[in-house]
Amino acid sequence: MSKLNLVQAINQALRHEMEKNPDVVLMGEDIGPDGGVFRVTEGLIDTFGARRVVDTPLSESGIVGVAIGMAAYGLRPVVEIQFMGFLYAAMEQLISHAARLRTRTRGRYTCPLVVRTPYGGGIHAPEHHSESTEAFFVHTPGLKVVVPSTPAEAKGLLLSAIRDPDPVIFLEPSKIYRAIKEEVPEGEYLIPLGEARVVAEGKDVTLIAWGAMLHPTLKAADQMAEKGIEAEVIDLRTLSPLDSATILRSVEKTGRAVIIHEAPRTCGLGAEIAARLCEEALLSLEAPITRVTGFDTPIPLPKTEKYYLPDVDQIVEAAEQVVGF
């Protein structure tokens, strides 16, 4: 076991799976000799060659469309799109084809495809490089959506995503690509999709987050602990299919929920989680369900993005209000 950051952990996962399965093919822009814009695929072309680490034309919709055909034929393509904001060009391919190929052919054709893309703000990137629109994909029947929050999580979830028989959108929080190092198990390490993780146990309030937002959420929980408030923190890990059972179990215990996401507020995944809690845990609720989210604006350019992104203070404030309700 060695201490790796998220970029290295994903690289290790890709290498592991490519060694194991000759049908795994990587495709994307600049993923070859350049190793990808975030260096996630660094060195893979040296080991596996240009046949399996394919630098493609600059063509996001084409890359995803071609990958659908490859997957249907029997390969396991893993696509890298440089930034989530550039994935929009491929929305039609994802929604109209990848997501429904299995069901529209009643199982005759399938689409075991992974689309990896960095997402989220806080890295002082140019316009269109800090999007957090995971709800588009969660809203699309037939897609799975996975967001790792630490290096080890990234490895375990990515291996499961590549082996999944259906299309998976794998969102990599770019803010924490190199911010955290932790022990990452070598070799086989699988985290099943569709299972959330209780990161910290507590009895007073449930804090629900994913991706980069897990980290300010954990800090907020620490600060609250100093004041005697015990927060339970859930890392969703898989946004679709959503692990409602873990969320419900926790909120039935705490009676209070705060959902934290950097995506815009309206129709963000927080809205869906709140609706489920209202439908299924109303009698356990001691306070209104609260959301700490980005605003309903495009994420601002770097000069003002910090005013947009939820921070530790906002999470503490929201949780304390809920606890004191």
Partner 1 sequence: MPKKIIHEFKVEFLQILDEAGRVDRTLWPALDEKEVKGFYEAMLLIRTFDEKALNLQREGRLGTYASVQGQEAAQVGSATALRPSDWIFPAFREPGVSLLRGLPMRMIYQYWSGDERGSAIPEDQHDFPIAIPVGTHIPHAVGAAWAAQFKGDPVAVATFFGDGATSKGDFHEGLNFAGVFRLPIVFICQNNHWAISVPLSRQTASATLAQKAIAYGFEGIQVDGNDVFAVYTAVKNALEKARRGEGPTLIECFTYRLSDHTTADDASRYRKAEDVAAWRKKDPLVRLRALLEREYGWSEADEQTLRRQAQERVAAAVHEFEAVPPANPEAMFDTLFANLTPDLLRQKEQLRKRLQKKERD
> Which among 16, 129, 215, 261 is annotated as catalytic?
129
Q: Token digits for 275?
A: 């609706």
Torsion angles phi and psi, residue 139, rounded to 5: -75, -10
Half-sphere exposure of 144 (CA within 13 A, CB side): 26
Q: Which of 191, 102, 107 is nearest to 149 (CA)?
A: 191
CB-wise, 63 or 213, nearer to partner 1? 63
Piece of 122-130, 141-149, 198-206, 308-316 that binds partner 1 (CB under 8 A):
141-149
**What is d(CA 54, CA 60) in angstroms, rounded to the nearest whole number?**
14
129: annotated active-site residue: yes
At its nearest, how many Å lie between partner 1 and the CB of residue 27? 9
Q: Which position among 34, 92, 279, 313 is part of the footprint of partner 1 (CB under 8 A)?
A: 92
CB-wise, 1 or 245, nearer to partner 1? 245
Confirm or reject binding of residue 57 to partner 1 (CB under 8 A). yes
Confirm or reject binding of residue 72 to partner 1 (CB under 8 A). yes
Radius of gyration for the chain, computed over Cα atoms and rounded to the nearest angstrom: 19
Confirm or reject binding of residue 69 to partner 1 (CB under 8 A). yes
Confirm or reject binding of residue 96 to partner 1 (CB under 8 A). yes
**What is d(CA 269, CA 273) in angstroms, rounded to the nearest whole number?**
6
Confirm or reject binding of residue 129 to partner 1 (CB under 8 A). no
Confirm or reject binding of residue 192 to partner 1 (CB under 8 A). no
Beta strands in the chain (DSSP E): 2-4, 24-28, 53-55, 76-80, 114-119, 144-146, 168-173, 182-184, 197-200, 205-209, 231-235, 238-240, 257-264, 290-294
Q: Which position among 106, 283, 297, 324 is part of the footprint of partner 1 (CB under 8 A)?
A: 106
Confirm or reject binding of residue 165 to partner 1 (CB under 8 A). yes
Residues carrying an active site annotation: 129
